[in-house]
Amino acid sequence: MGGVAGFSACSLLALSRLGHAKGAGQPGHPVAQNSSPSIQAASMSDSAMGDAITPMGPMPTSARWAYILDSTTNTVLLSRNAEERMPPSSLTKMMTAYVVFAFLASGRIRMEQTFPVSHKAWRMEGSRMFVPLGSSVSVEDLIRGMLIQSGNDACVVLAEGIAGSEERFVTLMNEAARRIGLHNSHFMNVTGLPADGHYMCARDVAVLAQHLIHDFSRYYHFFGEKEFTFNHIRQGNRNVLVDKGLADGLKTGHTDAGGFGLCASSERNGNRIIVAINGTSSTNERAHEGERLMSWAFSSFETVKFLSRGQVVEPKAAVWMGEHRSVALAVAEDVSLTIPVGWSSKVQISVDYPSPIAAPIVAGQKSGHVSAGLPGQPRVYSPLYAVEAVAELGVVGRLMARFGHAPE
- Percentage of the chain beyond pLDDT 90 is 74
Instruction: Let me know if 120 is a catalytic residue.
Output: no
For the stretch 162-210, pLDDT in tens is: 999 999 999 999 999 999 999 999 999 999 999 999 999 999 999 999 9
Decide if 339 contacts 304 (C-beta within 8 A). Answer: yes
Residues 6 or more apart whose CB falls under 8 angstroms from that of 13 comprise: 5, 7, 306, 344, 345, 347, 348, 349, 372
**Active site residue: 79, 93, 185, 265, which one?**
93
Decide if 250 contacts 264 (C-beta within 8 A). Answer: yes
| Domains of the chain, residue spans | 13-41+305-402, 52-301
Domain 13-41+305-402 sits in CATH at 2.60.410.10
CB atoms within 10 A of CB 225: 15
| 107 alpha carbon, distance to own chain's centre | 27
Instruction: Let me know if 93 is a catalytic residue.
Output: yes
Same fold, 13-41+305-402 and 52-301: no
CATH architecture under which domain 52-301 falls? 3-Layer(aba) Sandwich (3.40)
Residue type, 319: V
Phi-psi region of 202 (alpha: psi -120 to 50; beta: other; left: phi over 0): alpha
Q: Where are the beta strands (DSSP E) in 321-393?
A: 326-331, 335-340, 347-352, 357-358, 366-373, 380-386
The two beta strands, 357-358 and 326-331, are unpaired
For the stretch 115-159, pLDDT in tens is: 999 999 999 999 999 999 989 999 999 999 999 999 999 999 999
Mean pLDDT of 53-57: 93
Indicate the pTM of the whole model: 0.82
**Active site residue: 71, 79, 89, 90, which one?**
90
Decide if 341 contacts 278 (C-beta within 8 A). Answer: no
**Active site residue: 118, 127, 150, 266, which one?**
150
Instruction: Let me know if 226 is a catalytic residue.
Output: no
